[in-house]
């Protein structure tokens, strides 16, 4: 293992694509996963916590602890996405009930305590779902904003509009108030929006490559994607389904595969038409301060090679 592995906490709502993002992180010798925090999102928080435990057991990483975080958004009515991910959130493979015990500590408190226990700039928080837990941590312990190295989040959209409403990406729409808190927190933030994830498609040849791999993690990933792609293929009519959350870990491992720019991003917290929409000042036409690295492009072939190569390392 490299001596200077990047320490990360994964905040997640698994989700088939969350599961594959977690697998990618577990397979990398350059990342040290300090813990996984679940959040309500694709399915309720109890199920996302169970799903996180299942992924760790599948990958034989029982050393990593799982903490349940917030059970609902800060203010808005909760929404879920079983219509995409199935009732379990990870429909596809048949995975046994996990034997890993969920930690008693609340996920928000784990975030705060872990960030405070490490030197400033030591920890990256990766959010794969709504930003509820990170926002709650910032409200409860504002000092952690100065201690986090960065946050890397799947969320938002510019040219790709929305995937849950005409104007909003799911994670932003699921808790826009939380996203607003994080965007205003001054934490160095990188956003992987739909603009990027809609370029990273699981095409039939890529899915066939996964299915040909011998490891049970790769087989489970293929089964998950074989389930979730049905919704997206019908919705978009593309030659593959977008793979959202692994883009976050992909950027941490190979940032040269991505491009974007430093901009101001704001989120609409209310409104019947625009709730959860992200206003991206791409051309710097306002005087709003830069608060995010907003990525727009990805080398899809390069990222797929990275992902497939890492999944091949897992059991």
| Residues with a known catalytic role | 244
66, 42 in Cβ contact below 8 A?
no
Token pair, residue 115, equals 């960030």
State the residue for tokens 């995937």.
Answer: 163
173, 276 in Cβ contact below 8 A?
yes
Question: What residues contact 287, with CB distance under 8 A and at least 6 apart?
Answer: none
d(CA 163, CA 42): 13
- Phi first, then psi: what are they for 262, rounded to 5°? -80, 125
Q: What 3-state class would DSSP assign to 289?
A: coil
Token pair, residue 304, equals 């797929």
d(CA 305, CA 104): 38
For residue 215, the number of C-alpha atoms closer than 13 Å in the C-beta half-sphere is 18
Among candidates 107, 109, 143, which has minimal Cα distance to 127? 107
DSSP H helical ranges for 94-203: 107-117, 132-140, 170-174, 176-183, 194-197
């Amino acid at each position: 293992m490299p001596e200077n592995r990047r320490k990360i906490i994964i905040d997640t709502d698994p989700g088939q694509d969350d599961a594959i993002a977690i697998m990618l992180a577990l397979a990398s010798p350059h990342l040290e996963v300090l813990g996984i925090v679940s959040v309500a999102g694709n399915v309720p928080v109890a199920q996302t916590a169970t799903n996180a435990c299942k992924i760790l057991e599948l990958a034989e990483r029982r050393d990593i602890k799982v903490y349940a975080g917030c059970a609902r958004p800060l203010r808005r009515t909760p929404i879920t996405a079983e219509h995409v991910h199935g009732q379990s959130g990870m429909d596809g493979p048949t995975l046994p009930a996990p034997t890993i015990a969920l930690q008693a500590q609340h996920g928000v408190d784990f975030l705060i305590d872990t960030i405070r226990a490490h030197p400033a700039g030591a920890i990256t928080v990766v959010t794969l779902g709504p930003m509820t837990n990170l926002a709650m941590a910032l409200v409860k312990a504002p000092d952690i904003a100065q201690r986090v190295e960065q946050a890397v989040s799947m969320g938002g959209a510019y040219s790709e509009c929305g995937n849950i409403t005409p104007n909003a990406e799911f994670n932003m729409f699921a808790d826009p108030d939380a996203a607003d808190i994080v965007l205003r927190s001054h934490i160095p933030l990188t956003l992987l929006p739909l603009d990027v994830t809609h370029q990273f498609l699981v095409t039939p040849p890529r899915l066939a490559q996964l299915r040909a791999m011998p490891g049970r993690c790769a087989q489970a990933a293929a089964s998950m994607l074989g389930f979730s792609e049905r919704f997206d293929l019908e919705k978009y009519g593309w030659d593959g389904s977008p793979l959202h959350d692994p883009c976050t870990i992909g950027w941490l491992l190979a940032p040269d595969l991505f491009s974007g720019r430093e901009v101001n991003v704001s989120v609409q917290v209310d409104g019947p038409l625009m709730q959860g929409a992200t206003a991206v000042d791409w051309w710097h036409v306002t005087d709003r301060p830069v608060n995010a690295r907003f990525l727009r492009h990805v080398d899809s072939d390069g990222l797929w090679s990275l992902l497939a190569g890492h999944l091949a390392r897992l059991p």
